[in-house]
Each structure stands twice: as C-alpha cells, then as structure tokens.
C-alpha cells in the first residue's frame, strides 16, 4: 500500500465527514421527535379527512381532537331530551333494569342515538370517583395538564385515566344496570374501546359541533341503516346545570341521510336551539351513538365540569383516529389482574 496515497485518502475522508456534519441538522430529543411525528400525523389526518368528507358534504368536524375555532358562546335555549328514562326505586335497589324498562331504553337509543338514564349509579359511588379525580386532575395547574394530556378545545382537556382504585371497579365499567343495556345494543362480545375523562374549566367555550369518528362507509344511506358499532357512556362527576354547560345532542342525526350536510351547516352557523341538552345530576348517565352529532357546551360556572366517559364497541372496531398521542385505556401496574375473570373480555383489545 502506498503510504502517501493512504494519507491523502484519509484527509479526503475527514474533509467529507466534516462537510457532512455541517450539513446535518442539530439532533432532536426523543420528545421533540415525538411531537414532530404527532404534528405530522395530525396534518395528514386533517387532509385525508377533508378529502374523504368533501366528496359528499364539504368540510365536516370529526373526532375528539377537533380542529378549528370554538363555536359562538351564546347560551342556547334548552330543549329537554326526548329520549329519557328514570330508573325506578326498586331497579335502583336491585341495580338491574326490569325487562320492559330495558327494552324501552334500547328502542329509545336506537331511534334517537342518545339516552339520558336517570339514577343509574349510586351517587355515593360517583362522589368517591369525583373525590379521587379532583385530587389527581382538577386541582392540578393548567400548565401541567397541557403538558400531559390532550387539549380538545379552549380550557378543555381529554384525559386517559389510569385504571386503579377507585376507577378499577366493576360498578363503573361493568355496571349491572348499564352493561346489559350496552350488550343488547352492541352484542354480548362488545369491548371497552376507551376510558377517560373530559375536564372543562370555567371559561371554556362551546366546542365545535362534530361527529366522534369518520363515517365507516362512503354511502350516507349505509351509515344510517347499520346498527350501532360504538357508543359513549358519559358519567358526570358534578351536577350538570345550564351554567356548567352540558353536551348538546342532535337526536336522530345518526340515522339521517343528510347528517353530513347537517353537520357542515352547523359548523358554519351553529344552531344550538335545535339540540337536546341533558342536565344530569350525579348518578345519572347519558349514552350517545358514535355517529350522532353533538358538541360540548361552554362552562359559564365558577367551577370545573369533569365527566368520565366509557366507549364500548363491537370487538372489530378500534378507534385509532382519536388516540394518536395517548392510549385509549391505561392500566396502573398490577391492576389488570385485579379485574374479575368474567369481565376481562371487556379489555380484550388492550
């Protein structure tokens, strides 16, 4: 080997290496890379969704992580829900719906895409959940919440809650009043798709009106005729009043062929008086079909409005749309094995 040639080659390599280093961008931390990936996914998701929906109805709003400005903050006139059932005192004691009540509840939900079920959960248990939630989340500084959890509107956060006491409790995820009703709607093999909460602080404005998920089929007719594939059970941790705001629900929109056009029109010019608005007390719950048009309302009270949600679905459905940067279900260490065997199938997808 020629020593002079070898020396010249090494010098050339060093120069090329130095030049390459100058051209390379500064290294990014793992957190920065993750944030960049999430931002890219959100941009791609927005453009894909826009392209998909504008084939029929223009730019609609979809999913928990809505894009765009909040709706106008005018307080709407209230319309009580058409789809309401008051659980009787004997049913509360037995923690089971009678057959005729269960059938009525099922039919109302299928027709309206929503159901307000009064006195479904003992208020004492809801207070236990609310106390734990307040210590863990509500009393935290906003800056800390913004770092750890998804921002889904002005002063509003979507938080995936770790399954641990008091939240890892069959009275919550396998409630003997709620679960049989859910199974009658989604089949006995239904699973929990996601579990978490939405926390709206004082001053939170109206959310954009939206669907929770893109339509499964291009055909509006097919979307309206198919049975429900997923539904959300909402459990308020405080009494919901007009000042705290609630969820505005456009009953029956899950079955309307014109739902996409309706959502487009509502996005451009919100008509809150057309919506039904449940005002549940602690212990009440309300259910929403994943296809129904709805939107979280402004919180004009001087205290926060936390709600828990459980999304149940048919086993083949997985919501990858709303859960890009956080898990749909989170288990604290050692908590999965504490779930009773008869309910473990509910968490089969996690």
* Domain locations in the chain as residue ranges: 34-347
Q: Look at 246-260, 262-276, 288-302, 310-324 and tell me which has the smallest mean pLDDT.
A: 262-276
Residue 57 reports pLDDT greater than 70 = no
pLDDT above 70 covers a percentage of the chain that reads 77
For 156-183, what is the mean pLDDT? Answer: 95
CB-neighbour burial class of residue 12 (10 A; exposed 0-12, middle 13-18, buried 19+):
exposed
Q: Look at 18-22, 290-294, 316-320, 342-346 and tell me which has the smallest mean pLDDT.
A: 18-22
Is residue 66 very low, low, confident or very high in pLDDT (cuts 50, 70, 90)? very low
Is residue 279 very low, low, confident or very high in pLDDT (cuts 50, 70, 90)? very high
Residue 38 reports pLDDT greater than 60 = no
For 22-40, what is the mean pLDDT? Answer: 43
pLDDT at residue 80 in the model = 78
Residue 152 reports pLDDT greater than 60 = yes
Is residue 133 very low, low, confident or very high in pLDDT (cuts 50, 70, 90)? very high
Mean pLDDT of the chain: 82
Q: What's the CATH number for 34-347?
A: 2.60.120.620
Is residue 268 very low, low, confident or very high in pLDDT (cuts 50, 70, 90)? confident
Is residue 158 very low, low, confident or very high in pLDDT (cuts 50, 70, 90)? confident
Q: How far apart are CA 233 and CA 236, in angstroms?
A: 10
Q: Look at 28-32, 62-66, 267-271, 332-336 and tell me which has the smallest mean pLDDT.
A: 28-32
pLDDT at residue 31 in the model = 42
């Amino acid at each position: 080997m020629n020593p002079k040639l070898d020396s010249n080659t090494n010098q050339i390599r060093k120069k090329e290496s130095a030049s390459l280093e100058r051209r390379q961008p500064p290294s990014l931390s793992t957190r920065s890379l993750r944030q960049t990936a999430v931002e890219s996914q959100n941009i791609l998701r927005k453009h894909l969704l826009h392209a998909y929906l504008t084939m029929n109805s223009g730019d609609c709003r979809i999913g928990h992580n809505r894009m765009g400005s909040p709706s106008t903050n005018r307080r709407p006139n209230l319309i009580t829900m058409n789809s309401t059932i008051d659980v009787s005192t004997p049913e509360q004691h037995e923690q089971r719906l009678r057959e005729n009540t269960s059938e009525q509840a099922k039919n109302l939900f299928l027709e309206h895409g929503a159901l307000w079920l009064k006195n479904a959960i003992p208020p004492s248990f809801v207070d236990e959940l609310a106390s734990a939630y307040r210590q863990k989340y509500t009393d935290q500084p906003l800056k800390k919440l913004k770092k750890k959890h998804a921002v889904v509107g002005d002063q509003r956060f979507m938080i995936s809650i770790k399954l641990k006491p008091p939240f890892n409790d069959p009275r919550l995820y396998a409630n003997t009043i709620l679960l049989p009703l859910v199974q009658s709607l989604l089949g006995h093999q239904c699973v929990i798709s996601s579990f978490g909460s939405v926390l709206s602080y004082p001053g939170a404005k109206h959310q954009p009106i939206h669907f929770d998920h893109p339509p499964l089929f291009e055909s509006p007719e097919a979307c309206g005729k198919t049975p429900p594939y997923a539904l959300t059970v909402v459990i308020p941790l405080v009494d919901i009043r007009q000042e705290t705001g609630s969820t505005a629900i456009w009953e029956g929109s899950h079955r309307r062929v014109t739902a996409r056009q309706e959502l487009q029109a509502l996005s451009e010019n919100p008509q809150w008086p057309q919506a039904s608005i449940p005002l549940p007390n602690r212990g009440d719950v309300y259910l929403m079909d994943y296809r129904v048009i709805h939107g979280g309302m402004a919180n004009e009270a001087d205290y926060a409005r936390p709600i828990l949600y459980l999304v149940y679905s048919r086993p083949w459905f997985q919501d990858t749309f709303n859960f890009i940067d956080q898990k749909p279900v989170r288990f604290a260490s050692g908590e999965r094995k504490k779930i009773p065997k008869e309910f473990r199938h509910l968490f089969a997808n996690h």
